[in-house]
Amino acid sequence: MARIALHKGLPRAAALFCAGSLLLCSGCWFQKARPVAFTPPPPHPPAKKGPPPELPVPPLLTIDLSVLFPPELPSAVPDLPEPPKPQPRPRPPVVAGPKPPLTLPDQPPTPKIGQIFTAEQTREYTKELDESLDRVRKRLATLGARRLNADEMITMERIRTFQKQAEQARQEDLVTAVSLAKRADQLAQDLLGHQ
């Protein structure tokens, strides 16, 4: 049911009349829905079997062939003058062979950029490098006798890589060589500690 709000200016009777008319006017309150049955259309009569109907003979068409084929063009082609002969290209001037490069007097070899150490510093770095590489060799020999899992094998390969890099960097950059050797030594020590 619909609620109707009563306003002060609207009389009660008018409000009841409106409510009653709303209820009575709605058609769905008093009507019952009746289902409508579907009636299918009548079936088509079966097609008669027999020979197909004869078609009338088509009319004969006449075609104007002049529309399809244009009249012949004259076969005489006007005589055209011969094209001019191309002018020969001028030959490029003969250039002498390449000049030999200028040789400069003997130059001293290019100096290598790097740190300069005192004799004592060089001895200390060399001693530290040799000790680290010696410890790495001993630890790798110990680890080689043990059974290692996949992660430990990867760490062992990393140790060998650092060892090779340290030995290669010995002549050019002694500080880097010491750093690489220490890193290999530390990894080897950690790997032995896991065993």
How many CA atoms within 13 Å lie on the side-chain side of 151? Answer: 5
Q: Is the pLDDT of residue 170 over 50?
A: yes
The answer to whether residues 180 and 141 touch, using CB atoms and an 8 Å cutoff, is: no
Using one digit for the tens of pLDDT, what is the confidence trace for 18-36? 676 666 655 555 566 677 7
The pLDDT tens digits for 125-146 are: 889 999 999 999 998 888 888 8
Is 65 a residue whose pLDDT tops 90? no
Q: Is residue 47 part of a domain?
A: no
Residue 141 within a domain: yes
User: What digits encode the pLDDT tens for the residues 70-113?
Assistant: 666 666 666 778 888 888 888 877 777 677 666 666 667 666 66
Whose structure tokens read 């065993």? 195
CATH number of the domain residue 129 falls in: 1.20.1270
* Domain extent at residue 166: 119-194
Domains of the chain: total: 1
| pTM of this structure | 0.42
Contact 129, 166 (CB under 8 A): yes
149 assigned to some structural domain: yes
The answer to whether residue 171 sits within a structural domain is yes
Cβ atoms of residues 188 and 135 within 8 Å: yes
Cα end-to-end distance, the chain, whole Å = 86
Confirm whether 97 is domain-assigned.
Answer: no
